[in-house]
Amino acid sequence: MAESSNRPVLVVDFGAQYAQLIARRVREAQVYSEVVPHSTPVAELLERDPLAIVLSGGPSSVYEPGAPQIDPKLFEVGVPVFGICYGFQAMAGALGGTVEHTGTREYGRTDLGVQQTGGLLHEELPASHPVWMSHGDCVTKAPEGFTVTASSEGAPVAAFEDTERRFAGVQYHPEVGHSPHGQEVLRRFLHEIAGIRPQWTTSSIVDEQVARIKEQVGDGKAICGLSGGVDSAVAAALVQRAIGDRLTCVFVDHGLLRAGERAQVERDYVAATGVNLVTVDARERFLDALAGVTDPEQKRKIIGREFIRVFEQAERDLKAEGDYSFLVQGTLYPDVVESGGGAGTANIKSHHNVGGLPDDLQFTLVEPLRALFKDEVRRVGTELGLPETIVQRQPFPGPGLGIRIIGEVTAERLDVLRKADAIAREELTSAGLDRSIWQCPVVLLADVRSVGVQGDGRTYGHPVVLRPVSSEDAMTADWTRLPYDVLERISTRITNEVNEVNRVVLDVTSKPPGTIEWE
């Protein structure tokens, strides 16, 4: 049984589209989880003292040369194991079962038939219910000691379990919403087969992080870069609970903010928390550093570098009050994963608080949210007593409007984007859609011009892009189907009120393949 909510369930990533989603679903069952690459040796997995191991799906066939394999030693160490899709097949093969390429493939919605003996995973679930499949190979014979508990038309063995050794697996994807009983199946493995107590709760997260912060910071002082977003706000609130007035928040007005954000931070957050707040006006500094830069990675790294330099200057200014040697950041788990640090994945983009930090950083980082997804962060904020206006604020990237201008960042272009963004936000709020969407970036295509007609005259203005998306944690997202009348009001107001813009377009790309932000 679990002795600490810090011990993880490790999700071994075989290149799955949904590896991070599996980790989230495990946490929804109140069990802490992390994603690790399939190349991790068994000895390193065991060093983490895992409560259980989940083998993810993946795009490979078990018969392909060079396809990821499972070290059979994994099944000899007494750790519970659950296989999903490719992980299910690789598990079956490693334990002596049979995996075949039968020529029958199943993709998408599939009916699962539960055997008369449904086992712990499927007992009392409907005898036939839909699941989400994605496989070409299938298990045709379960390993010795396993009970087959379900099948489908294309998978004679669609689920099996060996409760004595605490092993189980399914051919389908229980982590996706298209498998309506999938979360219950995953919960049963974690709680009933693996025997893990559900103790990864919001209150436990707060208690553990406060204790960690106290241990890390000791009697020292910390600075937090407060952006006004939910991540930095919750991180600061956690650190303040741990060390009190030895935390000073530094709000940097880098000139890349949306309309009214500086006043909102200085008014709302201070009123809610009473935190020590210092505001630094660094607008000219950031614009000078970004002059002539168009590459998005370079922009992110410059903004991250300048943030640190401003904090270092703030630290020097605060020297009279003591030594500030710790820097608090609102780094989240998706930031770590996308920056190449979560699952052996490629670096999708450098986040300003992960891949964009300078090598000569003069602070020790305090990152109390580094293991959390966004929905968990919001719940922590509520637990800490932060107002809903802060906790439910739509995500806004640390580099701000600097990465929503495609091209060079200038004061004039920022002014154009700021006006268009304010109109979009006003109309979404007026329509009562703030809680229906994850966020709605407005992107200025500064290096693109299009012909238009305004006031009976020819114009040659900039297009702006609306990017409304729905998501749970930013790992995956779909574009939000906004009502046409709302889109019409946003477009009409922007083209009427922002002289430099003569065209509004809608981004209807999901993630993947597209990221939420354009840069």
Active site residues: 85, 173, 175
d(CA 357, CA 326): 14
d(CA 222, CA 312): 12
From the list 98, 201, 109, 112, the residue with the least C-alpha distance to 151 is 112
Name the token pair of 230.
Answer: 């939910």
Please say whether the beta carbons of 479 and 434 come within 8 A.
no
d(CA 497, CA 427): 14
- Provide the H-helix boundaries in 278-321: 283-290, 296-317
Per-residue DSSP letters for 446-459? TT--EEEEETTEEE
- Find where tokens 């241990």 sit: 215
Beta-carbon-side half-sphere exposure of residue 307 (alpha carbons within 13 Å): 28
Q: What's the helix, strand, coil split of the chain in %, to 5?
A: 35, 25, 40
A 10 A CB-CB count for 318 gives 17
What contacts 413, CB < 8 A, 6 or more positions away? Answer: 405, 407, 444, 446
Cα-based distances in Å from 259 to 109, 250, 284? 45, 19, 17
Please say whether the beta carbons of 138 and 102 come within 8 A.
yes
d(CA 224, CA 231): 11
Cis amide leading into 156 (omega within 30): no
Name the token pair of 309.
Answer: 């330099």
What contacts 284, CB < 8 A, 6 or more positions away? Answer: 255
Class of residue 382 by CB neighbours under 10 A (exposed 0-12, middle 13-18, buried 19+)? middle
d(CA 203, CA 212): 14
d(CA 201, CA 379): 10
The H or E element that residue 462 is part of is strand 457-466
